Structure 1
Amino acid sequence: MAASGTLSSLLKLLSWRNMNLDSYKYIVVEGPIGVGKTTLVNKIAAHLGARVLLEQPQANPFLEKFYRDAGRYALSTQMFFLFQRINQLRETAQNDMFDNPGHLVADFMLAKDSIFASLTLADEELKLYQQMYEHLRPQAATPDLVIYLQAEPETLIERIRKRGIEMESAISQDYLARLCEGYSRFFYHYDDAPLLIVNNEHLDLAGSDADFSLLLARIDGMRGRREFFNRGE
């Protein structure tokens, strides 16, 4: 058993040699609201000439109501997102099979739904949600690389206020703090795909080509399935 485990670890290590951003065909950028997912997705897609798959929160008719009355609208909001996201991923997978080889960069993965559900749903609602999620989950492809962006709740609330989306005005810092904790717990145990955890507090990935280049270099330098990037101040 020990020899088998050692061989498996060695094969994993060898498989990482000469990996770079272009080697990953399906890349997901994840993180809490306001952390900069969509900005980074668009930058990576432009760099690679990739297709983009984005969340569509504005299409959820329950979301604005949820921000104002979470207890009443949590289940309907969550179930809409679950079906919306699996339909997006299913449609993309079908198109890829026939028409669109190459890179895909997304700002969500289906597994994120469980983070929000665990924060917002009551016990019986959560059981119902989990049954449906487990039924749909096998239909979602596993990413080749996940980039998890982190930032402090105070930073997130400031960024949300600056972008000025009306329905997000009711998001509280307490909710963002609990959401950040949920993401941290989820990715602490995540091992389905290679993971780069990025502290986005002091990076300007939207406006700084130098910061974006630093991130690309860090991705190219990955040699394990879980690594960290923290530039600091």
Structure 2
Amino acid sequence: MTGSPLNGSPKPLLAQARHIVVEGPIGAGKTTLARRLAAHLQARPLIEDPDANPFLGRFYQDRHRYALPTQLHFLLKRHEQLAALQEHLLPAEATPVVCDFLAEKDALFARLNLDDDELALYQRIRQQAPLPELAPDLVIFLQAAPENLIARVRRRASANERTVDDTYLVRLADAYSHFAYHYDACPVMIVNSDNLNFADRDDDFHLLLERLATQRSHREFFNLGG
């Protein structure tokens, strides 16, 4: 299933992209795929490293109490990462970059986790110190059924993420599905990863590469039936 042609260009989007983002909820496999894609493309990986946030473990234990400092730490880190990325991409000959996060995800998590007063404060801070505007050339959204995300988190997530309760993961998966559906800042490939394992199966990774190599439309979908 494909969308309408983008600017009539016959050239695959992956071949033109200098800034690629892999996104998805916890357990979708975005960091694994971002690293593999960067290695394959001889690109520079830019990885979020959420466990470097000193508030994250406490947030998963008590989300109401630690949501705001957790969110503000991520926001400041995002400023640093995007400013550095913007500078890196200035030369036309710069090495392509593959990231495992979108700047817009911060607002998604803020709406999900902050109460009204905290959200208003967070939004004021973002307005006073806006993130660098840096739309990617291509976004790969990974999706999966909540039960599969939960199973993956319980099996192989970080120590912090393994403490996340199932209800939160379901809410997060729903929020990401809505986010992906409405995201329109650049071309998008939406990937149903229920039957794909980019960590352990090379064939799955190469199937995705083949699909990406043919993408020429603004919004396309990859779904490997099981």
Give me the TM-score of the superposition, normalised by structure 1.
Answer: 0.89
Amino acid in the other structure paired with 1:12: L
Given that 1:50 and 1:103 are in contact with CA atoms closer than 8 Å, whether structure 2 keeps it comes out as: yes
Structure 1 letter corresponding to 2:113:
T
The structure-2 alpha-carbon separation of the partners of 1:113 and 1:63, relative to structure 1 and needing over 3 Å to count, comes to same
Larger radius of gyration: 1
Q: Deviation at 1:58?
A: 1.6
Distance 1:145 1:99, change over 3 A: closer
Alignment partner, residue 153 of structure 2: 160
Match of 1:130 in 2: 123
Q: 2:34 aligns with which of 41, 62, 68?
A: 41
For 1:12, which of 6, 12, 27 is the aligned residue?
Answer: 6
What secondary structure is seen at the aligned counterpart in 2 of 1:146? strand
1:30 matched to 2:40:
no
TM-score in terms of structure 2 length: 0.92
The match for 1:118 among 111, 125, 129 is 111
Within the candidate set 177, 191, 203, 2:196 is matched to: 203
Percent identical: 47
**Which moves more between the two structures, 129-138 or 173-182?**
129-138
Q: Secondary structure at the match of 2:189?
A: strand
Distance 1:95 1:144 in 2: 15
Does the C-alpha gap of structure 1 residues 137 and 182 become closer, same or farther in structure 2, counting only changes over 3 Å? farther
Q: Are 2:174 and 1:181 aligned?
A: yes
Letter paired with 2:29: G
* Alignment partners' CA distance in 2, 1:145 and 1:25: 9
**CA displacement, residues 123-169 of structure 1 (integer Å, 9 cap, x when unaligned):** 11111212223444451411000000001222112111222532223
Match of 2:95?
102
Structure 1 equivalent of residue 134 of structure 2: 141
Q: Secondary structure at the match of 1:29?
A: strand
For 2:184, the aligned partner's letter is D
Separation in 2 of the partners of 1:37 and 1:164?
A: 12
The structure with higher relative contact order (CA 8 Å, sep 6+) is 2
The 1-side partners of 2:198 and 2:128 are apart by 36
C-alpha displacement of 1:73? 0.6
Q: 1:11 to 1:45 in 2, by over 3 A?
A: closer
Give the CA deviation at 1:13: 3.9
Residue 14 of structure 2 corresponds to residue 21 of structure 1:
yes
State the AA in 2 paired with 1:50: A
Q: 1:216 Cα deviation (Å)? A: 1.2
Amino acid at match of 1:62: F
Aligned to 2:98, the other structure's residue is in SS state strand
Residue deviations 1:26-59, cap 9 Å, x none?
0000000111011101111111100000012121
> How far is the alpha carbon of 1:101 from its aligned partner?
0.4
Shift of 1:99: 10
Cα separation, 2, equivalents of 1:210 and 1:171: 31
Alignment of 1:74-85 (within 5 A): 74-85=67-78
C-alpha RMSD of the superposition = 2.0
Conservation of the 8 A alpha-carbon contact between 2:82 and 2:131: no
| Matched residue count | 224
Q: Distance in 2 between matches of 1:228 and 1:11?
A: 14
